[in-house]
Amino acid sequence: MTAAVDIESVNLNLGGKLVLSDLSLALGPGESLAVVGPNGSGKTSMLRLLATLVKPSSGTGTILDRQILSPTIREIRGRIGLISHTPALIGELTIAENLEHFARLAGQNSDDCTRALHVVGLEQVADRRVNESSFGMQRRTEIAWLLVAKPDLLLLDEAKSGLDVDARELVDVMIDLTLGRSGTVIAVSHELSQLGSALHRQMHLISGRLEPLS
Amino acid sequence: MSFTSQIREVARVDLVVERRTGETFRIVLPFAIVTLIIFSLSLGGDVAILRTVGPAVFWAVSVLFGMQLALRASALDSPTRRDLMLLLDLDPAARFLGRTLASATIVLVFMTVLFATMVVLFDPSLPGGWFWPVAAAISLAAIGLAALSTLAGGVAAGTRNRSSLASLIVAPLAIPVVVGGSQVLEAMERNSGILLWILLLITSDLALLVAGVGLSRPLEEASR
Amino acid sequence: MRRVQIMFLVATTAVAYGAYLAFTAPLDALQGEFTRMIYIHVPTLWLAFLAFGITALGSIAYLITKKPRWDRLAASSAEIGVLFSVVGVFTGMVWGQAVWGQAWDWGDARLATTAVMIFVYLGYLALRHSIADPEVRAKRAAILGTIAVIQVPLVYFSVNLVRTLHQTQSIRPDGSTMPTEILVALLVNVGAFTLLYVVLMMARMHVAVLEETRMSATVVAGDAVAPPRLSDVKDV
């Protein structure tokens, strides 16, 4: 793999609005980036674009060696881990059932799920339903899933907000593990202090434009 | 994970969620039974009329309520969950088929209970050998309704008025299902063949399943 | 003069000529003045089917090419189709009441299917109305437009099956003995209404383009949120 993310002059139009403008970004394996920006600056859209969930309106480049505008970009989805600002779990299932469901769909070993729940400290509450669990527990469940999935590209959207000290540390551990495997990490937040020092580079996203942090 | 196991897994989780929320049997089924009672009362309780219209009322109520079941809230994914399903590399066609399978199962159970209730309330004169043809008609109708509702639910996802909008989309397109289903018993009473009506149901189901599989990828791309 | 205006003149002339023929054509002995109803009824229904057919074509073409003009074509045609089918069904009901003594004939598969189709496309328009994002709206509308074109023939087929098996005995005069003047007048009117459809489509698609230009005056993300004016807090 040459570069994890290498995109140039990418624009994203959503509903007639230019959400990302002239975005260029290059990150190699083992590299990481922190992006800070105010509410509505396009941070979430940028992560969804990098996760191949929205197609750029124009631009060139690759993500995990696939051309961003080609239909084959879908094939890298299994290698991307995303933590969204709201947890994506199924409320009626228990914490353990959610993990097992994801593992089955992704073709992963469900024994890993038990170990991951142990690592994130949720073994005791594994049989609790998600809609009866706290936000922090839900976040830890998602981190447990990323421990199982071992993504090559880890995208974190306000992953630390609303978490206690221990859970925030888990996020840092997740980042270190990913970088240690020569994975790539991009984290966004509206606050630099939420992003931590584990990330190599820092940039600013304002009104859909990425700029060096001054 | 293979395509068929993906279908099974999606259907399994949908059914577990449905069992835990209990929307079908705690809310929709009792409501549908009350509707049957309202029908019989509004017909003045005339036994002769009730006997004749029973099966027709069953089909009308089944389609309207069955469609609500297939559009149930628990079959609605949050945007972040949709994102996650995509990142798990879940084939959208498997997702459509899995969800349709789960909905068809729920609608099938619902219609079976409702049919039994209708027989008790309306006491229709069922022609001899009605069981298998009716079972086939109900099963095929459940598949058609489930497929149509899954598609309509996807098309209307995330809109302000999802459930009423999806109902408006499903109801007129569900007519072949109502016609095919209700005519099976009618045809048996007239002693004409039922094959035509079963074929109509199968054709309609196949058309919807093929459309759903074919359109699942564009539908997924339009779900941001 | 713009193309739309020229077409408008041509279409109104044709419709006027059609109306002239409609009022001068001989009357059917049985139906009397109500014969003239068919000069609106038949062309509007023909157009409704044509319009919904165009919506289906536009939907499929959009799914394949993703070009916005196919979406505009499908949407405009659906609106006009609903309009024409309402007029068609209404005139059919008035005529039915007068000639058959019955406004609604459940045995008529065409009537029932047309009525169902109105609701299918009202649903289509409601869906469009519910989605703000033009691209998402176009894709989902195209999907519904495609499902509709698969399912509507089955609706017709199923209603027609019920009709043939129940053998309803409504007196339905067939066009076999239609005098030439009536046939000519009818064909002229069908042609005139088709021209009217083309004009309406051109105008509606032009409006759609205007609507889109107004919507897409480029807005950059973040512009909607202003920085807090902390110094003004004392004024609150």
**DSSP assignment of chain B:** --HHHHHHHHHHHHHHHHHHH-HIIIIIHHHHHHHHHHHHHHTTT-HHHHHHHHHHHHHHHHHHHHHHHHT-GGG---HHHHHHHHHTT--HHHHHHHHHHHHHHHHHHHHHHHHHHHHHHH---PPTT-HHHHHHHHHHHHHHHHHHHHHHHHHTTTSTTHHHHHHHHHHHHTHHHHHHHHHHHHHHHHT--SHHHHHHHHHHHHHHHHHHHHHHHHHHHT--
Neighbouring residues of C22: CB distance < 8 A, sequence distance ≥ 6: C36, C39, C185, C189
Whether A200 and chain B come into contact, CB under 8 Å, resolves to no
Minimal Cβ distance to A77: which of B17, B21, B89: B89
With CB atoms and an 8 Å threshold, state whether C155 touches B203: no
Rounded to whole angstroms, the Cα distance separating C149 from B173 reads: 10
Query: What are the chain B neighbours of A80 within 8 Å (beta carbons)?
Result: 87
How close C49 comes to chain B (CA, Å)?
A: 16
Rounded to whole angstroms, the Cα distance separating C93 from C89 reads: 6
Per-residue model confidence (pLDDT) at position B120 = 85
C107-122 residues labelled b (16+ CB within 10 A) or e (exposed): bbbbbbbbbbbbbbbb
Question: A136 or B163: whose pLDDT is higher?
Answer: A136
Q: DSSP per residue over B145-183, as a string? A: HHHHHHHHHHHTTTSTTHHHHHHHHHHHHTHHHHHHHHH
How close B176 comes to chain A (CA, Å)?
A: 35
How close C127 comes to chain B (CA, Å)?
A: 7
Per-residue pLDDT tens over the stretch C56-84 = 999 999 999 999 999 999 999 999 999 99
Instruction: Give helix A95-106 / helix A135-149 axis angle, nearest 10°.
Output: 30
**What is the side-by-side order of every strand in the sheet holding A209-212?**
A80-83, A153-157, A184-189, A32-36, A201-206, A209-212
How close C207 comes to chain A (CA, Å)?
A: 17
Which secondary structure element, helix H or strand E, spans residue A2, and what is its range?
none
Per-residue model confidence (pLDDT) at position C94 = 84
Per-residue model confidence (pLDDT) at position B50 = 85
Rounded to whole angstroms, the Cα distance separating C120 from C140 reads: 14
3 state SS of A85? coil
DSSP letter for C26, please. Answer: P
Q: Are B29 and B113 in contact (CB under 8 A)?
A: yes
Which secondary structure element, helix H or strand E, spans residue A71, and what is its range?
none
Rounded to whole angstroms, the Cα distance separating B176 from C140 reads: 23
How close C147 comes to chain A (CA, Å)?
A: 24
Question: B138 or C42: whose pLDDT is higher?
Answer: B138
Rounded to whole angstroms, the Cα distance separating B177 from B212 reads: 17
Residues 18-77 of A with CB under 8 A from B: 48, 51, 53-55, 77
Neighbouring residues of A53: CB distance < 8 A, sequence distance ≥ 6: A82, B83, B86, B87, B224
Closest CA to B179 of C112, C48, C45: C112
What residues pair up with A153 in beta bridges, in sequence order?
Answer: A80, A184
Q: Are A86 and A107 in contact (CB under 8 A)?
A: no
3 state SS of A28? coil
Per-residue model confidence (pLDDT) at position C170 = 44
Neighbouring residues of C171: CB distance < 8 A, sequence distance ≥ 6: C100
Per-residue model confidence (pLDDT) at position C171 = 42
Query: What are the chain C neighbours of B151 within 8 Å (beta carbons)?
Result: 143, 147
With CB atoms and an 8 Å threshold, state whether A48 touches B74: no
Whether B200 and chain C come into contact, CB under 8 Å, resolves to yes
Per-residue model confidence (pLDDT) at position A1 = 55
Per-residue model confidence (pLDDT) at position A142 = 93
- Range picked from B35-49, B121-135, C174-188, C208-222 for highest mean pLDDT: B121-135
pTM, to two decimals: 0.82
Tens of each residue's pLDDT in chain C, 236 residues:
578 888 888 888 988 888 888 888 777 766 777 778 888 888 898 899 899 999 999 999 999 999 999 999 999 999 999 999 999 888 888 887 877 777 776 667 777 788 888 888 988 998 998 888 888 899 999 999 998 888 888 887 887 777 666 544 444 455 455 677 778 888 898 999 999 999 999 999 888 888 877 766 554 554 445 555 556 655 55
With CB atoms and an 8 Å threshold, state whether A101 touches B221: no
Per-residue model confidence (pLDDT) at position C106 = 64
Q: Are A62 and A7 in contact (CB under 8 A)?
A: yes
With CB atoms and an 8 Å threshold, state whether B84 touches A82: yes
ipTM value of the model?
Answer: 0.86
Q: Are B163 and B67 in contact (CB under 8 A)?
A: no
The distance in angstroms from the start CA to the end CA of chain C is 58
Minimal Cβ distance to A15: which of C133, C222, C223: C133
Collect the ranges in chain A with pLDDT lower than 50: none
Query: What are the chain A neighbours of C136 within 8 Å (beta carbons)?
Result: 15
- Name the amino acid, one letter, at B126: L
Interface partners of B (3+ CB pairs, < 8 Å)? A, C
Per-residue model confidence (pLDDT) at position C229 = 59
Write out the residues of chain B at the interface with chain A, using a CB-CB cutoff of 8 A.
Answer: 1, 5-6, 9-10, 13, 16-17, 20-21, 74, 78, 80-81, 83-90, 221, 224
Q: Which chain B residue has its CA at the smallest distance from C65's CA?
A: B218
With CB atoms and an 8 Å threshold, state whether B90 touches A105: yes
Query: What are the chain A neighbours of B95 within 8 Å (beta carbons)?
Result: none
Per-residue model confidence (pLDDT) at position A17 = 82
Closest CA to C51 of C41, C43, C62, C61: C43
The distance in angstroms from the start CA to the end CA of chain A is 31
Q: Which chain A residue has its CA at the smallest distance from B84's CA?
A: A88
Whether C126 and chain B come into contact, CB under 8 Å, resolves to yes
- Take residue C34 and report the two structure tokens written for it: 């109500």
How close C130 comes to chain A (CA, Å)?
A: 13
Strands A5-14 and A58-63: antiparallel
Neighbouring residues of B200: CB distance < 8 A, sequence distance ≥ 6: B176, B179, B180, C154, C157, C158, C161
Per-residue model confidence (pLDDT) at position C2 = 78
Per-residue pLDDT tens over the stretch A52-108 = 998 898 999 999 999 998 888 888 998 999 998 888 899 889 999 999 999 999 888
3 state SS of A202? strand
Q: DSSP per residue over A110-176, as a string? A: HHHHHHHHHHTT-GGGTTSBGGGS-HHHHHHHHHHHHHHH--SEEEEESTTTT--HHHHHHHHHHHH
Angle, vertex CA B26, rays to CA B21 and CA B27, nearest 5? 100
Neighbouring residues of B74: CB distance < 8 A, sequence distance ≥ 6: A92, B14, B17, B18, B21, B23
With CB atoms and an 8 Å threshold, state whether B78 touches A107: no
Measured CA distances, A209 to A45, A54, A158, A214, C228 (Å):
12, 17, 19, 14, 21
Measured CA distances, B80 to A85, B189, C112 (Å):
9, 52, 42
Minimal Cβ distance to C220: which of A15, A21, A39: A21
Per-residue model confidence (pLDDT) at position C230 = 57
Query: What are the chain B neighbours of A107 within 8 Å (beta carbons)?
Result: 1
DSSP letter for C170, please. Answer: -
Neighbouring residues of A8: CB distance < 8 A, sequence distance ≥ 6: A24, A59, A60, A61
Question: B205 or B52: whose pLDDT is higher?
Answer: B205
Confidence grade of residue B224 (pLDDT, cut at 50, 70, 90): low
With CB atoms and an 8 Å threshold, state whether C133 touches A14: yes
Measured CA distances, C149 to C49, C156, C205 (Å):
11, 11, 22
Rounded to whole angstroms, the Cα distance separating C151 from C131 reads: 23
Q: Is the pLDDT of residue B144 over 90?
A: yes
Closest CA to C203 of C66, C80, C65: C80
Q: Are C78 and C146 in contact (CB under 8 A)?
A: no
Q: Which chain A residue has its CA at the smallest distance from C137's CA?
A: A15
Rounded to whole angstroms, the Cα distance separating C73 from C58 reads: 6
- Take residue C70 and report the two structure tokens written for it: 């196919």
